[in-house]
Amino acid sequence: MPDTPGARKAACSPRVPIAFTSRTAAAFQFTPDGKQLVLTLGERLKQGEDDKHFGRPTDIAWLPDGTFFVSDGYVNTRVVKFDKNGKYLMTWGTKGKGPGQFDLPHSIDIDAQRRVYVADRSNGRIQIFDESGKYLSEWDNIRQPYHIMITADQHLWVADGVTNKFLKYDLNGHLLYSWGTYGSFPGAFWGVHQFSIDSAGNLYAAETFGGRTQKFMPKQGADPATLIGQPVKITQVSSR
């Protein structure tokens, strides 16, 4: 895999290649073995806010047809939409606290109704849009949503980087369950930046300030409602 200093996230698209967002102000898509670069979005080490550049992309989410959305936070404050081949379609968002504005859009995901959820981290909320960027609603009762994931059973889980808790919501914004505590000892959290679930249901939580990734296995006999479920499985779409 090519050198990508400051690499921030790797995510699998519905077309199998891997999209790799990075602090280099670009997003890279590779073959599954990491040996071949398939697509580059943005320009390496050159920041911008036009349709050919990023500031520092933070996350990525796909629709079933391969259309995808990139949250471009840290430097820019926007969401950028592309078709399945990486062609720019549109962007929305400016810096601010109003509806449709952002202060560090840090994570993004999409539900079964094709609604786009954006973790507006420094504004302490999650904003919901339709796939054309129309503002629908927001949840403003979260300290700092660092990372979000919508599970196959259509619940939204949040990693709150301030309270160091995982929060479970229904898609109407009702808090259903939370767990986690602050600390550097095993099982506690210090700034969960991102998390993921594998096919066996194991949770991997990467901590910014703790400088580690912890693995949690489902406890035998645990109530399934308290476990972070599998992410939405995106239907395979045709290749480029």
- The 10s digit of each residue's pLDDT in 106-115 is 999 999 999 9
pLDDT given for residue 18 in this prediction: 59
Structural tokens at position 217: 């296995």
Q: What is the CATH number of domain 7-226?
A: 2.120.10.30
Mean of the pLDDT values across residues 166-184? 97
* Strand 203-207, strand 212-216: pairing: antiparallel
pLDDT given for residue 239 in this prediction: 43
Confidence (pTM):
0.90
User: Biggest alpha carbon distance in the chain?
Assistant: 51
In the chain, count H helices and then E strands.
0, 19
Mean pLDDT in the chain? 89
For residues 81 and 89, the answer to whether their CB atoms sit within 8 Å is yes
Sheet containing 212-216: order of strands: 192-197, 203-207, 212-216
Q: Is the pLDDT of residue 237 over 80?
A: no
DSSP sequence for 135-158: EEEEE---S-EEEEEEBTTS-EEE
- Confidence band (pLDDT; 50, 70, 90) for 234? low
- The 10s digit of each residue's pLDDT in 104-153 is 999 999 999 999 999 999 999 999 999 999 999 999 989 999 999 999 99
Distances (CA, A) of 149 to 93, 108, 184, 230: 21, 8, 24, 9
Domain spans, the chain: 7-226
- The 10s digit of each residue's pLDDT in 60-106 is 999 999 999 999 998 999 999 999 999 999 999 999 999 999 999 99
Distances (CA, A) of 46 to 92, 188, 197: 21, 38, 33
